[in-house]
Amino acid sequence: MNLPIIQTITPAAPPLPMHPEDVIARGWDSVDIVFVTGDAYVDHPSFANGLLARLLESEGFRIAVLAQPNWQNCHDWRQFGRPNLFFAISAGNMDSMINHYTANRKVRNDDAYSPGGEIGLRPDRATLAYCQRSREAFPGVPIVAGGVEASLRRIAHYDYWSDKVRRSILLDSKADLLAFGMGERTILDIAKGFAAGKTVHEMRALRGVGYRLGASESFSIDDSTRELPAYEATKVDHDAFCEMTRISHLETNPHNAKRLVQRHGREAVVINPPALPLEEHEMDRVYALPFTRRPHPRYGTQRIPAFEVVENSVQIMRGCFGGCTFCSITAHEGRIIQSRSKQSILTEVKQLANQPDFKGTVSDIGGPTANMYKMCCIRPEVEAKCRRLSCVHPTVCKLLGTDHGPLKEVMRETRSIPGVKRVLVASGVRMDLARRDPEYLRELAEHHVGGHLKVAPEHTDPDVLDLMKKPPATDYVEFDKAFRAASRRVGKRQYTVPYFIASHPGSGLSEMIDLALFLKRNGYKPDQVQDFIPSPFDIAACMYHTGRDPMTGKPVTVTKGLRNRRMQKALLQFFKPENYFEVRKALEHAGRQDLIGSGCDSLIPDRPPQEALNKKRREANQSFSEQKSGDHIRGLNKTKKKQRARVSRLHKTVGYRPKRSGNG
């Protein structure tokens, strides 16, 4: 992608067509590319479908957005006519299975990326369904799969919800190409290639692209290629799965990554090296596109929860060099930090301040991590050869530039813009970096925190933290003290909001009890806790599946039973009365009855509080009512039936199998 330098944000343009009437209103007789997405269409740079569609529009392509279509037939796929170039398929900003289900495999109560937060507006494994319907609607039109779901499932992967190793999504979806990672360069190259008359086969050399080889096609292994263990081996052999994970993560630096090949029976998938990161002027160009920063008008007054969170936020960078093993950000966005220029950021904040409904607060200036802006390796020639998975673990690399100076300039100048009352930092702060700059911490406390600051210590056990690639727990204690002291010096009472994870590989009841004691002794009461979900492609998912660290081969303790997972999560909030019985069960199971009573270290009292008894009574009554009514359906299946019934009322359900009668 070679885009011109731009210093101003283009005034908002009408959103892209979402309905055939919108296409007619533009005077188009056809569209070039149809974006099919599992999210509502929000014309905001924080939403991938909005950003990529605007980018292609700026290059002269005619784009239509098919948001959350009825996947029960291919009628919706035909409403814009046959695309001139291709279908661009994405499950949305999240993997559809994580979007749908909790760590306990229960259906979530809402979908933040849907109008009104309504569930059931996208299918499980949405990429597969969307690709299939695209093929049915217009055979022969190329299909390009992308987004988080496709990126993280591009090779054989462990699927938590089916508890098995699944094939590359390329084979199950039968997409012609897969664009992985942040997609600006890749999708623009693909669109220009198809527009120039190139075939799918001629696109196979592009960076950031994966494709499948048929049984009759061969491939050669040379110095630029590494062969992964075959799918059949990874499915039954934990050693092979670990080796696949290790190799794939070592080949993620776009400056030195090799092409990966993995056999699946008589076929194979090929994954090219990642796309190169965007330069500063290219980042500026992307974020200067004429976004309305609003959901499409066709949604009317329906609220989209995910949009409300980022409506008045400004993304200043992308990527993360933390390399946390449980997090997909590094795997999707890359380890190299890509930052916008200060002028580009200030221009967007000014545009935000000029909007009539702006209340004066910029809700966030940040990215995956709040304080990695402009940070990079000070030796580019070393970075080009580096295969280190984290720049900050086990220690901060001596070649990592950790200067907060450029970020402090951005913070100071954004809060001085007329019409802006407050500029908050809502993204998580990397504590080990922030502690290196007391001035940054002071400015953060004085001007950019609204009472609470997000941080992510995640755990306290040294072995678990090492598996996570996180710093020691003492880092959090020292950071918390420094932040509170900085807040007091500027006359404020402010606190950190720590995030911790339950049931991460390596963490058993003993480790979680130690974490609970740490929380009590330090007076921390986390409002929100996370329950570990093995996400496809992640190193921690490999640990969960195999019981081994793929990078070292060492065994890892894994908690898999839902009963034990519930106890671990309850221990993180032992102070809540409603968790009393789960915490007691955990302590008794671990032989730690010494923590039940009135001692200074006791986590719970001898007798249950009234709230705990009330909760237990409600659960017993609910269970009795269900048995009396003869309802023995498991909760997951029951909820899925409700979803299908809702969809059936809205659309005529004709099944999913291709060529089935009534598919439209």
Using DSSP's 3-state secondary structure scheme, residue 65 falls into: strand
Q: What is the pLDDT of residues 604-631, one digit of tens each?
A: 999 999 888 888 888 777 766 656 655 4
Q: Which residues pair with 336 in a beta bridge?
A: none
Q: Report the pLDDT value the prediction gives residue 630, as an integer from 0 to 100.
A: 53
Find residue 364's DSSP bridge partners. 313
Strands 313-315 and 364-366: parallel
CA distance 380 to 398: 13
pLDDT at 316 over 70: yes
- 3-state SS, residue 312: coil
Residues of the chain with pLDDT > 70: what percent? 92
Query: What's the confidence (pLDDT) of residue 626?
Result: 59
* Degrees to nearest 5, angle at CA 647 with 642 and 650: 130
Cβ density class 442-476: b for 16+ within 10 Å, e for less: bbbbebbbeeebbbbbbbbbeebbbbbbbbebebb
d(CA 358, CA 353): 6
3-state secondary structure of 560: coil
Query: Is 104 in contact with 531 (CB distance < 8 Å)?
Result: yes
Q: What is the mean pLDDT of the chain?
A: 91
Say what the pLDDT of residue 301 is.
92
In tens, the pLDDT along 332-349 reads 899 999 999 999 999 999
Average pLDDT over residues 183-206: 96
Cα gap 553→550, rounded to integer Å: 5
Q: Please give the pLDDT value at position 331.
A: 84
Q: What are phi and psi of 493, to 5 degrees?
A: -105, 105
Q: Express each pLDDT in 45-84 by its tens digit.
A: 999 999 999 999 999 999 999 999 999 999 999 999 999 9
CA 13, CA 452: separation in Å to the nearest integer? 36
- The answer on pLDDT for 182 being more than 70 is yes
What pLDDT score does 641 carry? 53
In this structure, which long-range contacts are made by residues 474-477, counting pairs with CB atoms below 8 Å and at least 24 apart in sequence? Answer: 475/431, 475/432, 475/435, 476/431, 477/522
Give the integer Cα–Cα distance in Å for 22 and 44. Answer: 19
The closest of 468, 457, 529 to 496, measured between CA atoms, is 457
Q: Is the pLDDT of residue 5 over 70?
A: no
Per-residue pLDDT at 640 exceeds 90: no
State pLDDT tens for residues 511-547: 999 999 999 999 999 888 899 999 999 999 999 999 9
In the chain, the largest separation of any two C-alpha atoms, in whole Å, equals 77
Distance of CA 619 to the CA centre of its chain: 34
- Per-residue pLDDT band at 661 (split at 50, 70, 90): very low
User: Does 276 score more than 50 pLDDT?
Assistant: yes
Domains of the chain: 20-220 (3.40.50.280), 312-450 (3.30.750.210), 455-608 (3.30.750.200), 615-650 (no CATH)
Phi, psi dihedral angles at 426 (to 5 degrees):
-100, -15
pLDDT in tens, 240-256: 999 999 999 999 999 99
SS3 state at 563: helix
Question: Could you give the percent of the chain with pLDDT greater than 90?
Answer: 84
Q: What is the mean pLDDT of residues 193-204?
A: 97
Tokens of 36: 């099919």
The predicted model scores a pTM of: 0.90
Query: What pLDDT is recorded for position 8?
Result: 57
Across-strand partners of 260? 226, 271
The Cα 8–Cα 10 span in angstroms is 6
The tokens describing 641, both together, are 């039936």
> Phi/psi of residue 560, each to 5°?
-115, -35
Q: Tell me what pLDDT residue 595 has.
A: 96
Check pLDDT > 60 for residue 659: no
* Angle at 540 (CA atoms; ends 534, 544), nearest 5 degrees: 65
CA–centroid distance for 156 within its chain:
19
Using alpha carbons, select from 404, 383, 401, 384 the residue that is nearest to residue 392. 401
- Report the alpha-carbon distance of residue 286 to residue 185 in Å, rounded: 11
Bridge partners, residue 179, by sequence: 209
| 366 neighbors 318 (Cβ within 8 angstroms) | no
Per the omega criterion (within 30 degrees of 0), is the bond before 229 cis? no
Q: At 650, is the pLDDT very low, low, confident or very high (cuts 50, 70, 90)?
A: very low
Spatial contact of 61 and 33, defined as CB atoms under 8 Å apart: yes
β-partners of residue 498 are: 455
- In this structure, what token pair is assigned to residue 379? 């030796």
Q: pLDDT digits over 463-498, tens only?
A: 999 999 999 999 999 999 999 999 999 999 999 989
Residue 663: its pLDDT value, please?
A: 40
